[in-house]
Amino acid sequence: MAMLDRDRRRTAAADRADPDPAADPAQDAVIQVSDLRMRYGGTDVLKGVSFTAHRGEVLTLLGPNGAGKSTTIEILEGFRTRSGGQVRVLGTDPATGDEHWRARLGVVLQSWRDHGRWRVEELLSYLARFYGPYSSPRRRRPRPVAELLETVGLTAHAGSRVNTLSGGQRRRLDVAIGIVGNPEVLFLDEPTAGFDPEARRDFHDIVHGLADEDTTVLLTTHDLDEAEKLADRILIMAGGRIVAEGTAEGLAAQVPADAEVKWTRDGRRFVHSTSDATGFLRGLLAEHGDAVADLEVRRASLEDAYMSLVHRHESGSAEQAALEFAEEIR
């Protein structure tokens, strides 16, 4: 799979060099969400979600199933009407977004199985045409189809019928369709579900390439590893709220510094939990010296904290899990 090629990058660079008259600081906030609420059949699915995404930023909504990630993204896409709160995507309320607004977005959903009888290139060219009238010197629309097929690694399948593609190839096509209009904002709902590790890495390259072109990317995932690799910023969602927010490093630093020290002495295993691992080790070694073996020190990681959040969330106490996680990470 090729990266977005060099000409395209030069175009993007030239576009950046050409100052955008609309590029004032307020415009820089591509997605603004404040106190977003969603009530559905008597239950609150979203209980006041607020965040902002800036131009060229890759933002991840990370959380267990049922946390409210997909609902949030669907409201931003304009596919769902919210119950309350303020939402702006590219300065427009998605509930009233027109076709011109729509042309500036890219959408990749979880479970598309459409257009099975169409051939890959046929479908991509058909959908590409819609974006032609919205082209500008700064944003060429649509992307050239052949080049895009190369980018997502489907050139060899250009003539294949969509329903003969494997699950991973199908998702690549979905991603290609999502970016064929050269969107300013791209929404991806669980984009790498069903990808093998190589496809996943290729996909990560595509996303980083898009961010270099000033595309804002909002994606959902329940996979922390993916969020860490992709996102400039991670929003952890649980129970309809954002319970933590920051860069991967920032979130990791927020996790309590308790460390687990394991060692063996005279054939017996010991485990000790401490907030001052270095001090504890100094004492341990001073006291027992050479008798200490198999020493292992493990800081509680973001992963540990996240896994326990997911576990509690799925065992039914979403609300409780969200609160505890928020408490823990503070």
Partner 1 sequence: MTATTLLAVGSGLRRGWTEFRHSLTSREDLIGYLGIVVLFTGMSTFMRGESVRGTDIPIANMWLAGIVGFLVASTAITTVAQGLAVDREDGTLLRAKAVPHGVTAYLIGKAVYVVCVAMASVVLLLIPAFVFFDGFGVYQPTDWITLAWVPVLGLLSLAPIGAILGSLISNPRATMGLVMLPFMGIMAISGVFYQVTGFPEWLQGLAQVFPLYWIALGMRSVFLPDSMLAIEIGQSWRLGEAALVMGVWAAVGFVVAAAVLRRMARRESGSRMEAGRRRAMQRA
| Bridge-based pairing state of the strands 268-274 and 292-299 | unpaired
Least CB distance from residue 287 to partner 1, whole Å?
58
User: Is residue 111 within the footprint of partner 1 (CB under 8 A)?
Assistant: yes
Nearest to partner 1 of 97, 144 (CB atom) = 97
**Closest C-alpha among 110, 330, 316 to residue 236:** 330
Nearest to partner 1 of 83, 254 (CB atom) = 83
- Residue count, binding to partner 1 (CB under 8 A): 34
Residues 229-268 touching partner 1, rule: CB under 8 A, are none
Least CB distance from residue 231 to partner 1, whole Å?
21
Nearest to partner 1 of 127, 284 (CB atom) = 127
CA distance 158 to 4: 18
User: Is residue 113 within the footprint of partner 1 (CB under 8 A)?
Assistant: yes
DSSP reduced 3-state for 329 = helix
Cα–Cα distances in angstroms (integers) from residue 169 to residues 8, 181, 222, in the given order:
23, 20, 21
User: Is residue 115 within the footprint of partner 1 (CB under 8 A)?
Assistant: yes
Residues 183-222 touching partner 1, rule: CB under 8 A, are 189
Cα–Cα distances in angstroms (integers) from residue 166 to residues 109, 162, 163, 171, 172, in the given order:
17, 9, 8, 9, 10
DSSP E strands in 130-275: the ranges are 185-189, 216-221, 233-238, 241-246, 259-265, 268-274
Least CB distance from residue 212 to partner 1, whole Å?
24
**Closest C-alpha among 28, 54, 3 to residue 233:** 54
Candidates 30-38, 76-84, 211-219, 280-288; binding stretch for partner 1 (CB under 8 A)? 76-84
CB 108 within 8 A of CB 175: yes
Helix (H) or strand (E) holding 242: strand 241-246
CA distance 52 to 320: 26
User: Is residue 140 within the footprint of partner 1 (CB under 8 A)?
Assistant: no
Provide the token pair at 19: 């100052």
Residues 89-108 touching partner 1, rule: CB under 8 A, are 99-100, 102-103, 105, 107
Least CB distance from residue 207 to partner 1, whole Å?
18
Nearest to partner 1 of 215, 312 (CB atom) = 215
Least CB distance from residue 160 to partner 1, whole Å?
14
Neighbours of 164 (CB within 10 A): 12
Nearest to partner 1 of 158, 252 (CB atom) = 158
Residues 6+ apart with CB under 8 A from 290: none
CA distance 153 to 56: 24
User: Is residue 37 within the footprint of partner 1 (CB under 8 A)?
Assistant: no
Residues 116-135 touching partner 1, rule: CB under 8 A, are 116-118, 122, 126-127, 129-134
Binding site residues, partner 1, CB under 8 A: 70-71, 74, 77, 79-80, 99-100, 102-103, 105, 107, 109-118, 122, 126-127, 129-134, 177, 181, 189
